[in-house]
Amino acid sequence: MTDPGSDHTDVTDELARELDRAHVFHSWSAQAQTSSLVIASGRGCRVWDHAGVEYLDFSSQLVNVNIGHQHPAVVSAIREQAELLTTVAPATVNLARGEAAKRIVARAPEGFRRVFFTNGGADANENAIRLARLTTGRDKILSTYRSYHGNTGAAIVSTGDWRRVPNEFARGHVHFFGPYLYRSEFWARSQEEECERALQHLRRVIESEGPQTIAAVLLETVPGTAGVLVPPPGYLAGVRELCDRHGILLILDEVMAGFGRTGRWFAFDGYEVRPDLITFAKGVNSGYVPAGGVIIDEPIAAGF
């Protein structure tokens, strides 16, 4: 396969690096130690630098290019829409947006009929948290330590890894340990024990925090950044039962795992669980343009 950008012989990798070092501020990076890898073009699962050196994109960029780089059908659709209308205000009506929402909810469980669109996964989780708080009248959001929900205000505080610590400016967030048998926090010896003990741990956290103060439990259906931690059988159903018992909403973060990443449209399709709010981004359009959202269960939407 030839480099689709190889005809740009007047552009060099060093020029790209020079401009990057001079003007770009990178996320989650010590600025003196950013990557020197230049990506100039891509096609399918391959990317190239300006010199034509080819790489396999094993990371799928940010685990989001589900259908590969430069899929001609998507590129064509973007071009057609850009020629017709490049932007539209939220308060107005637009056929393309309505059609996108219709196609997204068609993949969700029965009873999900509305989509709140965002620019990506972090603000999808931000708005799911707001919806949960406004719906329940409660404040606290519970999420696991081994998680990543985005880098904005409440999303980064919901995140469980160490990157949240210098950024903990949002209120009302509580963390708990989710199941992970390989590095069990519960001295479990089997998936069954891990599931049972992890649910007991969550039960005690809910009781100790005060169920009447908790708006939602926010979980990645399959945690991704923390290491692709597939939940043991029965765990997500057990979380759902605990939420139902205490009037707590369940938000499933499908930003990384949704739209085919697990072989199903949504990762939770593989488990006996139905969330109240579903957040998505990444694979919904393989990251070709900034897009994400919250799929809202009808009883919650009706409250607005």
Digit-by-digit pLDDT tens for the chain (304 residues) are 556 655 555 689 999 999 999 999 999 888 988 888 999 999 999 999 999 999 999 999 999 999 999 999 999 999 999 999 999 999 999 999 999 999 999 999 999 999 999 999 999 999 999 999 999 999 999 999 999 999 999 999 999 999 999 999 999 999 999 999 999 999 999 999 999 999 999 999 999 999 999 999 999 999 999 999 999 999 999 999 999 999 999 999 999 999 999 999 999 999 989 999 999 999 999 999 999 999 999 999 999 9
Query: Three-class SS of residue 296?
Result: strand
Task: Look at residues 144, 291, 108, 115 and name the one whose alpha carbon lies nearest to residue 217.
Answer: 144
Nearest to 208 by CA among 171, 250, 176, 245: 176
Place of tokens 């999900």: 112
249-253 and 277-280 as β-strands: parallel, antiparallel, unpaired? Answer: parallel
Residue 34: per-residue pLDDT? 80
CB 175 within 8 A of CB 157: no
The number of residues making up the chain comes to 304
CB contact at 8 A, 56 and 45? yes
8 Å CB contact between 156 and 167: yes
Q: Which fold has domain 91-302?
A: Aspartate Aminotransferase; domain 2 (3.40.640)
User: Could you give the residue ranges of the DSSP H alpha helices within the chain?
Assistant: 13-23, 60-63, 72-84, 95-105, 121-136, 153-158, 191-209, 235-246, 298-302
Task: State the Cα–Cα distance between residues 179 and 232, nearest whole angstrom.
Answer: 7
